[in-house]
Structure 1
Amino acid sequence: MGTNGDIPTLIVLVLGDSSVGKTSFVHTVCHDQPLSSPPPVTVGCHIEIKLYERRDRHQNPNLFFIEFHDVGGSVQHKNSRSSMFYDDFNGIILVSDLTSRPSYDNLKEWLDEVIRYRSQQKLPTEFTSEALKNFDIPLLLVHTKFEESKATSLLNNSKSPNNINNHSFSSSSLLPNYNRKSVLANLLNCDEIFIDCYSKKQFSNDTPNVAKLNSFFEKMIKKASVEPVEQLPQFDWLASENHYIH
């Protein structure tokens, strides 16, 4: 946890395969509107900042900067990105494409990559809740291309909620049954949201997506144990940054 002026800053790693929609998702969250066209492929890490305003029990506003580190998903940079981007963060958002089964399957590998770097120990073959019990980092799953996936359903067809290796797929779509979480969300004990990155309504006030995203932010705040400030600063804009791997 860092600070920007008097305002605490929390860092979120945004991880997932290349072209699943990480940059579009982050832009929508930070700017309250979707991109007008697909962004270029991220090389290295693209950073966006959101000013998050919360209310405590007495309804006093509290402010935090949420710094999204949108890490490029290129396989070519797998060996170098860990040491550059995985040292300092407060939460992880794992992003998959609802029309791509491999992008969902690979979320385990992304999380394994972070845990292996942080603990110097690779997860066992059995990716279970027991193996994750010491990884106490707030997590959120984001599944993109919702509109393209409405025709079919998936993710929950599993015999064991504690083992991602046991799930099966009946189609190429990853759209889950609305009555329960996906296998991976159950395993990680985290929320998940389903979005169309080019819709203006994805993160409107009082929507389930906003509630789950805010809950994720609150978990990070609680975990970081920081004291928020209570006055809104004056500023005109917040810059985005790009960090490149050479």
Structure 2
Amino acid sequence: MALDFAATYKVLVLGDSNVGKTCIVHRYCDERYYDTYISTIGIDFKQKIINLDGTPIKLQIWDTAGQERFRTLTTAYYRGAMGILLMYDVTSLDSFNHLSYWLRNIQENAAPDVVKVLAGNKCDAAAQRAVETERGEKMAESFDMPFFEVSCKQDVNIEEAFLTLARRIREQRRRRASLFESGDKSPTHVDLTQPQNSDAWRCSSC
């Protein structure tokens, strides 16, 4: 018997190749950690029904390829995306510096009010850290994104990052519905990206 759910939220996981996009999707959806790295070819997606504060919600999580040759394939998948988990690897300065590319890509292809959360993966690898927590915090603050340092290996902050994304999508949908009901069917600009709180989630092992 199929599970009932109140809504489906389409979520994209974006970032450079090898930052852990596939790993975080498997960890969250399958509750498994894969130590071997297999590059995503184009697009893959998984679905997970979650209990969002008492309401069953289906998350449709799209895992996108980070390699340059696949990026043109991913732009069509922005259509209908309600949330984006933007990832970098705290052991790779390049992956952090490339966030500006991904943010431009989001601006060009996604809806103006798409919800974004920033996640710095591999926070368990303290000895290899190349990007300090404060840099991630500042980047997230600049673009009004909640920020989490996560670890797929140790399962740190994975669920919190996705639940925060889902809650903010829900708030955005409610606000949009409220605007529609009030007669303002085409708002020119609505700031739907204010953080719920200013405290960044940190990895306890960092």
TM-score tier by shorter-chain length is: 0.7 to 0.9
Larger radius of gyration: 1
Greater per-residue helix proportion: 2
Once the two structures are TM-superposed, the CA of residue 93 in structure 1 deviates from its matched residue by 0.7
Note the C-alpha offset of 1:73: 0.6
Structure with the larger RCO, 1 or 2 (CA within 8 Å, 6+ apart): 1
Corresponding letter in the other structure for 1:185: A
Q: Of residues 67, 75, 79 in structure 2, which corresponds to 1:74?
A: 67
Identity, % of aligned positions: 22
How far the C-alpha of 1:32 sits from its partner, in A, is 2.6
SS of equivalent residue, structure 2 residue 133: coil
1:216 aligns to 2:165 (yes or no) = yes
Task: Answer yes or no: is the 8 Å Cα contact 2:15–2:87 preserved in 1.
Answer: yes
What's the C-alpha RMSD, in Å, of the aligned pairs? 2.5
Check if 1:64 corresponds to 2:51.
no
Return 5+ residue gaps in structure 2 as ranges. 178-206
* Offset at residue 196 of structure 1 (A): 2.2
**Matched pairs, number:** 174
Pick from 145, 151, 155 the counterpart of residue 196 of structure 1: 151
Any stretches of 5+ residues in structure 1 without a counterpart?
Answer: 56-60, 120-134, 153-171, 204-208, 228-246
**Aligned AA for 2:9?**
L
Q: Which amino acid aligns with 2:173?
A: A
Q: Distance in 1 between matches of 2:93 and 2:136?
A: 16
Deviation of 1:212 (Å)? 4.4
TM-score by length of structure 1 reads 0.63
TM-score, normalised to structure 2's length? 0.75
User: Match for residue 93 of structure 2?
Assistant: 101
Alignment of 1:117-196 (within 5 A): 117-118=109-110, 135-148=112-125, 150-151=126-127, 173-177=130-134, 182-196=137-151
Q: For each residue in 1:10-65, what CA deviation from the matched residue of structure 2 results, as whole angstroms up to 9, or x when unmatched? A: 01110001111001011111123322x2241001111011211022xxxxx21000
